Structures are given as C-alpha cells and as structure tokens.
C-alpha cells in the first residue's frame, strides 16, 4: 500500500495513527539506543577494564557519526524510496545493539556504536520528512508530535528502565533487549507503514535567511556541548554524592519525567513567543546546573538540581528544531538535519571535554564548565533576534 500526495491531502489522524505510532516506537528505539551507555557507563568500563573517561567516549563516538554524516546522508539518499530506506535504518539499530550485546572486546563495542551512529545520522531526517506525507497539511503539526513522542518515551522510560535492567541482570541484557525490540519494530513498520511518494525537496531558500539558521545551529551546538560535558557523567556525579548504583535507573526515570514538563512548556510557548520561551528554558537550565555545582557532593542538593536541570532541558531540542525550520533558510528536512548534526557535535564535544576534565580536574568542575558553554549558547539567542523572534 502507498499513500499518494492527493490521498495524504485528505487523510486524517485516525487513518494514519497506526503508521504514526510505528514511527513513534522507532524514535523511542533510536533515542534509547543513543543514550543507554550513559546509565551503564560504570559497568561497561569495569567489564573491559577501561577507565570511565574512555567509556564515556562511546556516547561521543556515536555522536561523531551523526555530526559528520547527518547532512550528507540526507542529501545523498534524497532520491531513494522512503519506506525501504527507513526500514534499513531500523535494521541498523538491530545490528548495532546486537553487536554491543555480544561484544568480546571494547573495540567491538565501539564498532557496534559506530554502526548505530551512522544509522542515527539518517533516521531522524527520514522521520521528519516521512510524517507530513501521511496526513493532510492541516494535521502535520499533530502528526509530528505523535511520531516524535517516542523521543520523550525513550528518555523517560527506555533509558531508565533498561538501566535498571542492566543493574539487575548485567549490562549486556539491555542491549540484547534493544536488538529484539528493533526486530519487532521493523516488523511492525513493514506491516502498517504505507509507502509514500518520494517527491523532490521543495524547501524555501530565501536570501538573507541562512545567517539565521547559522545562529540557531551555533546556539544549539554550544548548549548541547555544555549539557553533555556534565550529563555524560551524570551516573558518576550521582554515585559520587552517595547514591547507590542500583538507584541510578529509577533516578533517571524521575528526571526523565521532569523533562516532560520542559517539553510541555516549550510546545506551549513556541507558538506564542519563541524568544521568551527559549531564554527562560536556557536560563533555568543554567541555574539548575549552578545549583548542582554548589551542592555537589551533598546528595539532597544534587538530586534536586538534577531534576530541575533535566526538566528544563527536556524542552531544548524542540526549541531549536522549531526555530531552525522557521528560518526558512532551507527545507524543513534539511533544517532538521542541521539541528541533528549540531546537536551531536555537542554530544561528542561535551563527552570529550567532560572525559578530559574528569581525568585532570575531577568531577566537581564539570558543572561549572557546562554553565559557561550553555551561557555562550544563551548569549547567541539573546543577540540573534531574527533567528529567535518574539513572534513565530
């Protein structure tokens, strides 16, 4: 079955719901695969006799693949049939997680993560481009919200639950479970997701607007670098404050739930005053990280600050995605690829900076470096009124 352009123009959410939910499950799988090593970092390092700093680079390696290949892969594959290509990315997640679960050495773990990173580089561009072709134009926003809710589900449920599973049964089990989940997701997509017309890119490219996209991308990159300088090692920060390793998963679950508040606030404010919403969320993020730096290693303060930090940051990705698309510098799909790429430059850079600081200055300095970088990204927002306008 295939959905033509004319059919999509009259298609409602009810008709498209099974397909949209299959995309939501795939996005949950994608984010869980990307972020799972954060919760299992100490166990992974101990299993192969490598330092926590080196193990933390697994997050960075994955991110490097996305940062380097997101835009080129989106361009190179623009003429390929959408459904087979999307299914190939889901199969890539199955291969990646299976390789990590069965890895006899740390090098094989790194290779498996490289496969996952290449997959991730293409997946979200496909998701953003596929979803609008399933429904009428008036329903595109809600359709994207449904398809993208898997990102929140991965952060709120996927990563914390699998982290807890790893604490109970060993670090290999969560990756094996993700490989099985990827196969199931692949089967569901094959059954319910219709093919769509592979139309050529028609995004507007208006003169003078590329600078706005540069500003959005630069701010996004700086904020993500700052966030992941500290967040890559959040399990170590929590353990260092006295939290038992068995409670890392439940704590991340609670922090992920707090992230839904930030996501709700961002979604509500972006259609009213994008500039004010962006500045408020970034300022709250900086304040929370500052409190973490002051409180560490006192457990109560660390837990409270982490909850607020994760709550505010839950809205950050949607801020930059929406502002990038609204620059109208390139097509929405290409704008999404740039945000995806710079986000992962931030993840890679942040994990590398955090790893270097962990070896030289210790855990306590990570929040302060994070604040400086997030502050730089916030300054770009404050100075770029056209890229982050008061009116959408």
Which of 2.40.50.140, 3.20.20.70, 1.20.1250.20, 1.10.1740.110 would CATH assign to domain 1-199? 1.20.1250.20
Distance CA 211, CA 220 (A): 14
- pLDDT, residue 10, reads 53
Distance CA 385, CA 132 (A): 29
- Domain 206-392 CATH class label: mainly alpha
Q: Which of 200, 227, 239 is nearest to 41 (CA)?
A: 239
- pLDDT, residue 6, reads 45
Q: Which of 82, 359, 70 is nearest to 217 (CA)?
A: 70
The residue ranges of the chain whose pLDDT is under 50 are 5-6, 200-204
Convert the pLDDT of each residue in 32-89 to its tens digit.
998 888 778 888 888 898 887 788 777 777 778 888 899 999 888 878 888 999 999 9
Distance CA 92, CA 183 (A): 10
CB contact set of 131 (below 8 Å; sequence gap of 6+) = 20, 23, 140, 143, 144, 147
Convert the pLDDT of each residue in 198-247 to its tens digit.
654 444 455 568 899 999 999 999 999 999 999 989 989 999 999 998 88
CA dihedral over 340, 346, 351, 352, signed as positive or negative: positive
Do 1-199 and 206-392 fold alike per CATH?
yes
Domain boundaries, the chain: 1-199, 206-392
Distance CA 344, CA 63 (A): 5
- pLDDT, residue 204, reads 46
- pLDDT, residue 5, reads 46
Distance CA 388, CA 207 (A): 18
Distance CA 210, CA 216 (A): 10
């Amino acid at each position: 079955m295939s959905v033509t352009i004319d059919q999509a123009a009259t298609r409602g959410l009810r008709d498209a719901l099974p397909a949209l939910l299959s995309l939501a499950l795939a996005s949950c799988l994608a984010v869980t695969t990307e972020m799972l090593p954060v919760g299992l970092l100490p166990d992974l390092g101990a299993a192969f006799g490598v330092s926590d700093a080196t193990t933390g680079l697994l997050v960075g390696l994955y991110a490097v693949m996305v940062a380097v290949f997101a835009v080129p892969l989106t361009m190179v594959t623009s003429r390929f049939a959408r459904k087979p290509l999307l299914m190939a990315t889901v199969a890539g997640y199955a291969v990646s997680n299976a390789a990590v679960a069965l890895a006899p050495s740390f090098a094989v773990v790194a290779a498996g993560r490289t496969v996952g990173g290449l997959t991730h580089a293409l997946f979200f561009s496909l998701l953003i481009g596929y979803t609008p072709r399933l429904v009428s134009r008036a329903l595109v926003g809600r359709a994207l919200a449904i398809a993208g809710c898997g990102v929140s589900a991965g952060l709120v449920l996927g990563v914390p639950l699998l982290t807890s599973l790893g604490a109970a049964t060993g670090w290999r089990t969560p990756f094996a479970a993700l490989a099985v989940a990827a196969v199931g997701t692949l089967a569901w997509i094959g059954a319910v997701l219709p093919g769509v017309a592979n139309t050529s890119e028609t995004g507007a490219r208006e003169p003078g607007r590329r600078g706005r996209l540069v500003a959005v991308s630069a701010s996004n990159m700086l904020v993500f670098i700052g966030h992941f300088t500290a967040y890559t090692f959040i399990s170590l920060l929590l353990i260092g404050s006295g939290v038992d390793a068995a409670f890392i998963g439940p704590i991340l679950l609670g922090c992920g739930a707090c992230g839904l508040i930030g996501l709700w606030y961002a979604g509500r404010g972006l259609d009213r005053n994008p500039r004010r919403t962006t500045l408020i969320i970034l300022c709250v993020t900086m304040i929370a990280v500052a409190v973490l730096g002051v409180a560490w290693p006192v457990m109560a303060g660390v837990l409270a600050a982490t909850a607020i930090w994760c709550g505010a940051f839950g809205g950050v990705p949607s801020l930059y995605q929406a502002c990038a698309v609204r620059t109208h510098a390139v097509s929405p799909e290409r704008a999404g690829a740039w945000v995806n790429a710079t986000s992962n430059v931030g993840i890679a850079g942040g994990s590398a900076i955090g790893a270097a600081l962990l070896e030289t200055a210790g855990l306590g300095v990570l929040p302060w470096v994070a604040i400086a970088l997030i502050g730089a990204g916030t300054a770009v927002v404050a100075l770029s009124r056209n890229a982050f306008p008061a009116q959408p």
